[in-house]
Structure 1
Amino acid sequence: MRPRLHILHAWLLAAACLLPGLAQSQTPPQGTGTASSAAPAGANAQPPTAAAPATGELALGSGSPGMVQPVTNPYAPPKAVVFGSQMFTGRFAALNFTGFNPDYQLSVGDRVLVRMWGAITYDAAQNIDAQGNVFIPNVGPIQVLGVRNQDLNRQVEEQVRRTFKSNVGVYATLDSAQPVKVYVTGFVRAPGLYGGLSSDSVLAFLDKAGGIDPDRGSYLKVQILRQGKPRAELNLYDFLLLGKLERLQFQDGDTVVVQARRHAVTVTGEAQNAYVFEIEADAVPASTVTALALPKANATHLSVVRNTGVELKSEYHRLGELGAVRIQSGDVVTFTADKYTTTLLVRVEGAQMGERSLVLPAGATLGDLLSRLTPSPNANMAALQLFRRSVQARQRQTLEITLRNLETAALTARSATSEEAALRKVEADMMLSFVTRARSVQPLGQVVLSDPQEARKLILEDGDTINIPEKTNLVLVSGEVLFPNAIVFSERNGLDEYITQAGGYTQSADTSKRLVLRANGSVAAVGELPRPGDEIMILPKIDSKNLEVTRGITSIIYQIAVAAKVALSL
């Protein structure tokens, strides 16, 4: 039993080193209970620091030995982002606000500093009582409830002047920077009691609690309670979209409550704000959603997928005809640019003496383009090159599928002994490094134009690039040779002569894998000699005991060599 345990342990170590996203921290539990039950009492409650995993996959944890934790699947589709969730990153919590708020209206419990000098001297800080007054000796109660901050000094001075006509100076101000402790609860990441200044914004206290829970919390209904009674209700969309935020004066024991989100729609497609938006009612006019999403200039239509009920229904509307359209909670709204192509823009590079960008009607062929070119005297029209974005994307997709298969083969290789497991781990590390480098290679998207007559019938696509090479008498030798170089073409030279002139093979060269890449993108058949402008590429040798891994790496190297003209070694 013990040798088998060693083998299993070595295999798990290899897998832990290779699987992406392994050993991530678990998300602390989220709750909607009260501050006393969902967070430790006191001002030292801390927001969570780890994001929740996107899938239920399991992996070894980095905390306790043998701990199994969820990891993120790198191939899972991205989750829709809730509008506003990106603002709670710790920036509000990091700074205190002690500025003067002239429009703040004083309320019960606010702390007022009063100073008098001259005939009498008085210096004290008083809280506004339940009747809305502050009491000054020899003057009596002074009503300040509801008075704006900028009018407070004048209000107090007028009342003092009724008793002391002269020889008394008065100064009254709101104590806006007193330390307070505020409860933050409801649908936030970490409900609790948090310390700050009375002048801090509600965003600072929400940020200290980890922010609003993006999956459940409401950005439209954030309540501030004082002694259990509503003090204010904020709509954070006013801040996000308009920059408006009511500035409050917090007191000890105030409570910030984030209500539950009730209605939401998801926006995707051609929109500047492709987010999950909260809406105030179960159904709103489509204009409300477009005002939030801000469709891009190229958007023409709006599609709606109804996700409520047992039926799935779809609607499709022009953006200019949304007057009677209503969007319901749970809908997925997609803005699209449904336009048909009438002209093509083709870029011409290389040995072209005329215009470099040509506009052609849709359906134009390569022959139509060639009739409008003005090649230079040194142009090599027989080696014409065509690069296409759709081909590049397809090459990239094919390469990615092959790389994933290689990862699977490297991670699932079995070992009979602990020594073999250790070797497998080293080999798997090399495979992962190779995969990472292979993913960074960008295919060229070249279309092979091997038959000049048939190539003229090729229908062009918008965004195609035509390159006209100049005539050359050089042959490029690259890959696994000692001195990759450009060598002057000679009709007497074969592959061996060119490779000899490049210093010969390296130790890692596979002498049976020698490619001759033509300038038009084709690969010469075995036995054909190089031509002027061709590239000789020597591929590397693959040493692996795993036949499937060897086959996968060889396939990837060939793909990259042909699609990107790069000899990638292990």
Structure 2
Amino acid sequence: MRPTRFLMISLLIAGPTLSSPCALAQGLPPGLAGQALQQADPATLAALVGSLGPGAVASATGNAATTAPVPNGMAAPTLPSIVPTLATPLATAIDAGAPPVVPGAMSPLDSAANLASPVFGARLFTGAFARAGSARFNPDYMVTPGDRVVLRLWGAFQFAQVQTVDPQGNVFLPNIGPVALGGVRNADLQRVVAGAAAGTFRSNVYVYAALAEAQPVRVYVGGFVRRPGLYDGTSMDGLLHYLDAAGGIDPDRGTFIDVEVKRGSQVRARVNLYQFLFRGLMAPVALADGDVIFVGPRQQTVTVTGLANNPNIFEFPRQSHPTTADVMLLAAPQPAATHIRITRMTGPVRNVEYHPIAQAGAVPVADGDTLEFTADKKAGTITVRIEGEHDSAQEYVLPYGARLGDLLRQVHFSDRSDEASIQLFRQSVHDRQKTMLETSLRSLEQSVLTARSGTNEESQLRRNEADQVLAWIDRARKVEPIGQVVVGHGPTRDDLLLENGDLLRVPTRDGLVLVSGEVLFPNAVAWQPGLDAQAYVARAGGFTPNGAHKRIVVAHADGSFEDVAPTSQSLRTGDELLVLPRLDTKSRQMWKDITQILYQLAVSARVVLGL
């Protein structure tokens, strides 16, 4: 086993000749590749990562959406410092039996990296073109030397043969002579052969001609592709087939707008893949044995972000002078976009320009610029929904800057409406409450994980307590705040600015008090004047063994709240009484943090989460 492992590590060191970690597993016992990777030093792993090519590290770890590609030319001391963490996922992928790279087929790593690339056009190459067979019945295919043609004549003259088109582009028919088929469209093949036969046989001879198979060819794919090499196919297979088989154009280095097809020193065709991507145009190029598909270096690029239908990295010819209008044709800004922010990198200095879209059409852009489409326009109107106990419409369209009083003057309340306890729910408040809760939970998590112990016994106790608290933190993270705003009373209530998407709820005078939390039977209890908080708890079955008798929060219907004593008689109809749990922790700081979070949950989400 040890000599084989040494061979494995030697293969890793020779990384530039390998196309993917899947290739390392070929011919090795299960688990051996993973062992070698896990025992390899950082320099060895760096060689492996370098062999995968830009972007493939993300694919190898199965997290292409969040792992940045390996920058070209990364210094040797830097790369080994980041790749040791890849040993385990790479080993797992190999030992799991990932399919080996088959010549002429797209590597799963290349496919995943292309899908994750922000470069426009990279997603063309996911293996679909390489898997597709040659289009044998393509009517526009031009017959070339080496193609095989089925020829049949019957009637007064009998002949049946499959002939290969000779280097001069001819086939030979008895009594007829050479028939020129080179450059004839597949759809015209029958007509050309029948016309040649008609020159010799005036009648009673019938002709059938069809393309049997295209010429087998081997095409070189070179330049800035992921896996340059020599690939088998047929003369019917198109340019995209061979590029796909080579892993696609390297999005970080190769050009998508000037792909050359060469035969010897002659450039037979230049293909701009943007024509195919935007207009569906692909000039037919019949490839012959020994032809070269060459992908040159990437030219000017502009990055598009923000409110665009195509937020990608776009490429422009090196000698061109693109403008924002050219970029907008490719990026397709969304209707909501009103302005363009242009970030220009001039050496170490970053310059930012800001233009309205309507006036930015002729603004030049340069290689490396970033364009962000933004919406910089105040909303003309907002929409507010009102639910609950009222006799009015449920949705209102108000001018931007409308206040709560403007809305309430349009609402018709019923006899059952509790106008003094109007509830307002807002998405932005929900988001802030969620952020504050997450901040508190992270602080608690850090204090739990960094707590110190003096003895082994104390360490075990701390560990058990930490497991319990961490499980509680996971539960707390799943709680969603309700986003309620404290509306208040009097003139200040009517001055509250409304936001688009606000939800108002008019409570019903139902004469109930909700009792929840650490009580035996959480329930709704009929409100009675003069009853204190402890009496309401008693009507809900009393405190649970985990209930804290002196930790009761009352959430009022209007969003306000207060911490009350068991003897408090400040409850009113529509209130919610929440009994918090008793805490028993060894750390005073932890106790304070959990108490704070318990109150946050009670106030923002009306939830009591026992520890």
Q: TM-score, normalised by structure 2?
A: 0.72
Q: 1:62 maps to what in 2?
A: 88
Q: 1:116 maps to what in 2?
A: 152
Q: 2:270 maps to what in 1?
A: 233
**SS of structure 2 residue aligned to 1:454:** helix
Read off the aligned partner of 1:245 and give its amino acid letter.
M
* Larger RCO: 1 or 2 (CA < 8 Å, sep 6+): 1
Per-residue CA deviations over 1:118-142 (Å, capped at 9, x if unaligned) read: 324232241452x443455654443
> Structure 1 regions of 5+ residues with no counterpart?
1-25, 33-46, 67-78
**Of residues 286, 298, 322 in structure 2, which corresponds to 1:284?**
322
Q: 1:72 maps to what in 2?
A: none
> After the TM superposition, which residues 539-550 of structure 1 pair with which residues of structure 2 at under 5 Å, given as runs?
539-540=580-581
Could you say if the C-alpha distance between residues 178 and 464 of structure 1 is closer, same or farther in structure 2, counting changes exceeding 3 Å?
same
Q: 2:51 maps to what in 1?
A: 29
**SS of structure 2 residue aligned to 1:396:** helix
Per-residue CA deviations over 1:405-446 (Å, capped at 9, x if unaligned) read: 445445555678899888877776666655555444332221
Q: Once structures 1 and 2 are overlaid, which stretch shifts more, 375-384 or 119-128?
A: 119-128
Q: Distance in 1 between matches of 2:574 and 2:453?
A: 48
Q: 2:385 maps to what in 1?
A: 347
Could you say if the C-alpha distance between residues 149 and 65 of structure 1 is closer, same or farther in structure 2, counting changes exceeding 3 Å?
closer
> After the TM superposition, which residues 478-489 of structure 1 pair with which residues of structure 2 at under 5 Å, given as runs?
478-489=516-527
> Structure 2 regions of 5+ residues with no counterpart?
1-47, 70-81, 93-115
What's the CA shift for 1:99?
5.5
Q: Are the aligned partners of 2:190 and 2:208 in contact in 1 as well (CA < 8 Å)? A: yes
What's the CA shift for 1:335?
1.7
Q: Distance in 2 between matches of 1:545 and 1:128?
A: 92
Q: Once structures 1 and 2 are overlaid, which stretch shifts more, 519-528 or 175-184?
A: 175-184
Could you say if the C-alpha distance between residues 265 and 59 of structure 1 is closer, same or farther in structure 2, counting changes exceeding 3 Å?
same
Q: Once structures 1 and 2 are overlaid, which stretch shifts more, 444-453 or 515-524?
A: 444-453
Q: 2:20 maps to what in 1?
A: none
Could you say if the C-alpha distance between residues 103 and 452 of structure 1 is closer, same or farther in structure 2, counting changes exceeding 3 Å?
same
Q: Are the aligned partners of 1:27 and 1:50 in contact in 2 as well (CA < 8 Å)? A: no
Q: Distance in 2 between matches of 1:513 and 1:209?
A: 68
Q: Distance in 2 between matches of 1:249 and 1:358?
A: 64
Q: Distance in 1 between matches of 2:122 and 2:610?
A: 44
> After the TM superposition, which residues 421-570 of structure 1 pair with which residues of structure 2 at under 5 Å, given as runs?
434-506=472-544, 509-510=547-548, 512-527=550-565, 528-529=568-569, 530-540=571-581, 551-569=592-610
Q: Distance in 2 between matches of 1:425 and 1:179?
A: 68
Q: 2:34 maps to what in 1?
A: none
Read off the aligned partner of 1:219 and give its amino acid letter.
F
**SS of structure 2 residue aligned to 1:340:** coil
Q: Distance in 2 between matches of 1:201 and 1:234?
A: 12
What's the CA shift for 1:448?
0.8
Q: 2:362 maps to what in 1?
A: 324
**SS of structure 2 residue aligned to 1:533:** coil
Q: Distance in 1 between matches of 2:289 and 2:590?
A: 65
Per-residue CA deviations over 1:233-266 (Å, capped at 9, x if unaligned) read: 3322233222333455555555443333221111
What's the CA shift for 1:489?
2.2
**Of residues 127, 147, 161 in structure 1, which corresponds to 2:184?**
147
What's the CA shift for 1:97?
5.2
Q: Distance in 2 between matches of 1:132 and 1:288?
A: 44
Could you say if the C-alpha distance between residues 316 and 450 of structure 1 is closer, same or farther in structure 2, counting changes exceeding 3 Å?
closer
Q: Are the aligned partners of 2:276 and 2:282 in contact in 1 as well (CA < 8 Å)? A: yes
Q: Are the aligned partners of 1:80 and 1:276 in contact in 2 as well (CA < 8 Å)? A: no
Q: 1:174 maps to what in 2?
A: 211
**Of residues 384, 403, 408 in structure 2, which corresponds to 1:370?**
408
Aligned Cα root-mean-square deviation (Å): 3.9
**SS of structure 1 residue aligned to 2:276:** helix
> After the TM superposition, which residues 240-319 of structure 1 pair with which residues of structure 2 at under 5 Å, given as runs?
240-250=277-287, 254-281=291-318, 283-309=321-347, 311-319=349-357
Read off the aligned partner of 2:149 and give its amino acid letter.
L
**SS of structure 1 residue aligned to 2:88:** coil
What is the aligned residue count? Answer: 518
Per-residue CA deviations over 1:286-332 (Å, capped at 9, x if unaligned) read: 22111111111122222222224454333333222234322222111
Could you say if the C-alpha distance between residues 311 and 143 of structure 1 is closer, same or farther in structure 2, counting changes exceeding 3 Å?
farther
> After the TM superposition, which residues 369-448 of structure 1 pair with which residues of structure 2 at under 5 Å, given as runs?
369-409=407-447, 412=450, 434-448=472-486
Could you say if the C-alpha distance between residues 128 and 522 of structure 1 is closer, same or farther in structure 2, counting changes exceeding 3 Å?
farther
Q: Once structures 1 and 2 are overlaid, which stretch shifts more, 197-206 or 519-528?
A: 197-206
Q: 1:3 maps to what in 2?
A: none
Q: Distance in 2 between matches of 1:426 and 1:162?
A: 98
What's the CA shift for 1:57?
8.7
Q: Are the aligned partners of 2:150 and 2:212 in contact in 1 as well (CA < 8 Å)? A: no
Q: Once structures 1 and 2 are overlaid, which stretch shifts more, 327-336 or 189-198?
A: 189-198
Q: Once structures 1 and 2 are overlaid, which stretch shifts more, 335-344 or 137-146?
A: 137-146
Could you say if the C-alpha distance between residues 431 and 140 of structure 1 is closer, same or farther in structure 2, counting changes exceeding 3 Å?
farther
Q: Distance in 1 between matches of 2:241 and 2:562?
A: 67
Q: Once structures 1 and 2 are overlaid, which stretch shifts more, 328-337 or 134-143?
A: 134-143
Q: Distance in 1 between matches of 2:388 and 2:206?
A: 85
% identity of equivalent residues: 44
Q: Distance in 1 between matches of 2:90 and 2:358?
A: 59
Read off the aligned partner of 1:114 and give its amino acid letter.
V
What's the CA shift for 1:466?
1.9
Q: Are the aligned partners of 1:176 and 1:198 in contact in 2 as well (CA < 8 Å)? A: no
Q: Are the aligned partners of 1:224 and 1:254 in contact in 2 as well (CA < 8 Å)? A: yes
Q: Are the aligned partners of 1:185 and 1:256 in contact in 2 as well (CA < 8 Å)? A: yes
Per-residue CA deviations over 1:71-107 (Å, capped at 9, x if unaligned) read: xxxxxxxx98222334444444454354622223334
Q: Once structures 1 and 2 are overlaid, which stretch shifts more, 55-64 or 282-291?
A: 55-64
**Of residues 54, 62, 84 in structure 1, which corresponds to 2:121?**
84
Q: Once structures 1 and 2 are overlaid, which stretch shifts more, 87-96 or 319-328?
A: 87-96
Read off the aligned partner of 1:115 and give its amino acid letter.
L
Q: Are the aligned partners of 2:260 and 2:268 in contact in 1 as well (CA < 8 Å)? A: yes
Per-residue CA deviations over 1:427-483 (Å, capped at 9, x if unaligned) read: 766666555554443322211123434222323333322221111222222334443
Q: Distance in 2 between matches of 1:365 and 1:218?
A: 55
Query: Does 1:223 pair with 2:223?
Result: no
Could you say if the C-alpha distance between residues 64 and 461 of structure 1 is closer, same or farther in structure 2, counting changes exceeding 3 Å?
closer
Q: Once structures 1 and 2 are overlaid, which stretch shifts more, 349-358 or 396-405?
A: 396-405
Q: 2:143 maps to what in 1?
A: 106
Q: Distance in 2 between matches of 1:259 and 1:554?
A: 63
Q: Are the aligned partners of 1:346 and 1:358 in contact in 2 as well (CA < 8 Å)? A: yes
Q: Are the aligned partners of 1:308 and 1:331 in contact in 2 as well (CA < 8 Å)? A: no
